[in-house]
Structure 1
């Protein structure tokens, strides 16, 4: 009796289903790539060409004719781009370290210590992440104004940490659950303290988890606009996201310079995604975020 190549209850054969699935995946990947690549290409094009060349003939010239660093030189010499970038690096680095440290400690505590309402606490932490930053902006502004901390790195760092920490804690809580307690018990039997066990045993194993939390905290802080605009009132204290938006209101800074500063803003996230993508994928997949 001849066997059918079709699956039970299926009109389309298994091989045909796999081919359709493969074509669908490739088509989606190509469309997404085109959708992402075209804006990036235009940004690079405007960044490395003089404005008079790009907009010659009353329309954007999408074929590069001359390449120059004139736009970047204009940014570095006539604007506060360096200052804005420095502010972003300071605030982002501080927020990333603080948020990741809190997430590691809180995630480990939620995993290894039993107390009443532990599961409810973990879910409440994640629920707090659902609030939009603008909801927290006004209360934080009032608190910092009362304490006299407005227009300071400290205030903006705390604000960004408050936004990114809840999800980072949830991520570390999920990731620490994948680490067997037997590893720590083996160290305790050999006389190691809990702190040394965490430092020498748990943290090396949890590296993909807390690197993923750090990358997430970096993305929140680096791309933030709302908190920086609310907390900072001085032009010298603005981050690069706020500073770049101000360029559109200046007569001396055109679209080419604006695209150039946008390109500078993309460099740090691109480098992190390029060199740490494996840790990011491991952290989110093993951390139980299906």
Structure 2
């Protein structure tokens, strides 16, 4: 039978107390790691939440309340829509917002359609240089949009499409398409070809197979591609500033930047338009985040 000393030594080893050094047990280490992660998450959430909180508070307070006493009051004492009324009554905010919705919707649909078509073709059809072509598409995404701005300006000028929302839609689709094509190429590789072969055996055409079999399975992939294209188009400033030149054609990002030069528009109205710009991305992230995570993880971006 083991002596009391041996049993105590064994217990010390199990607890991590070896050689007189009192090491932490595995349970304590896990707890410390968990606490550390919680602290880091709390710090990041604080830095992210504070600007949003300031934006929302100032947007729903009148300037007189916000700047009463010469200080910035961030504890809400009233809720008013006065800042939003000023925006829609004295500026072209409604027009800017409509233009952004049209351009973003068109660019998202076009970029996603191109991505699905090209991604499926790269996955299911064999041709020489397919791998190089697919990687070349992704390589083009590494160029900043400002690099493409001047060439696209020259192209649209030659075609007579400057100051046209359709031209801006094409430009934004060109910016987002390389990444969305690569994403769908990766995602379609996870869709078993046996599913299509089973449909073909039953007499389905390739188009019917793609529509009824492949696309439902690949839904997380093309929704992720659509979300990415939406983010590129909705947040765009560079292409809109290059392609568009008339005030009534501007998108909300360009139009909001013009408010800073207007004496009649203050910080309260600026925060109100910033809140309006933030609502669509917030709703997209809220309702489609599961698709986004599935699409990027299965698509080879985990």
TM-score w.r.t. the length of structure 1 is 0.96
1:86 match: 98
| 1:284 and 2:296 aligned | yes
Q: CA deviation at 1:6?
A: 7.0
Runs of 4 or more, structure 1, over 4 Å off, are none
1:39-71 Cα shifts (integer Å, max 9, x gaps) = 001001110111111011222111111211000
Q: CA deviation at 1:222?
A: 0.2
1:106-145 Cα shifts (integer Å, max 9, x gaps) = 1101111111111111111111111111000011001101
Q: CA deviation at 1:201?
A: 0.2
| 1:173 and 2:148 aligned | no
99, 121, 127: which one aligns with 2:133: 121
**Gap runs ≥5 in structure 2:** 1-6, 17-22
Structure with larger Rg: 2
Does the 8 Å CA contact 1:5/1:14 hold for their aligned counterparts?
A: no
**Gap runs ≥5 in structure 1:** none
Does the 8 Å CA contact 2:58/2:74 hold for their aligned counterparts?
A: no
2:204 match: 192
1:164 match: 176
2:4 match: none
Q: How does 1:215-226 map to 2 (within 5 A)?
A: 215-226=227-238
93-102 or 14-23, which moves further after superposition? Answer: 14-23
Q: CA deviation at 1:185?
A: 0.5
1:14 match: 26
| 1:40 and 2:40 aligned | no
Q: How does 1:81-160 map to 2 (within 5 A)?
A: 81-160=93-172
1:67 match: 79
Residue 73 of structure 2 aligns to a residue whose secondary structure is coil
Q: CA deviation at 1:16?
A: 3.2
Distance, in Å, in 1 between the alignment partners of 2:148 and 2:28 is 52
Residue 185 of structure 2 aligns to a residue whose secondary structure is helix
Q: CA deviation at 1:199?
A: 0.4
Distance, in Å, in 2 between the alignment partners of 1:73 and 1:133 is 34
Distance, in Å, in 2 between the alignment partners of 1:204 and 1:273 is 21
TM-score w.r.t. the length of structure 2 is 0.92
2:19 match: none
Distance, in Å, in 2 between the alignment partners of 1:48 and 1:209 is 38
Q: CA deviation at 1:12?
A: 5.0
Say how many residue pairs are matched. 288
